[in-house]
Amino acid sequence: MTVVNVQEAKTHLSRLIARAQHGDEVTIARAGKPMVRLTPVEPVAERTFGTVPINLPDDFFFEPLDEDELSAWE
């Protein structure tokens, strides 16, 4: 575990972030009192859209609506 004061954290923030990413527990203290801890963030899974396969006939969008569907739009 690494404990650093605020001034040292300001000066070496990039280095401290790298240490936290590699598993080292980094704590930032003010006046010798632990205040915050740097921890790596879990990566967010990428979302994919449009992955549900839909098989529609080629003329699906060009067929006239039946009376029930047509009245629902009016």
- Partners of 28 in the β-ladder: 4, 36
Maximum Cα–Cα distance for the chain, whole Å?
77
- Which pLDDT score is estimated for 49? 67
pLDDT on residue 64: 81
Predicted local confidence at residue 57, as pLDDT: 75
CATH for 2-38, among 3.40.1620.10, 3.40.50.970, 3.40.50.150, 1.10.1790.20? 3.40.1620.10
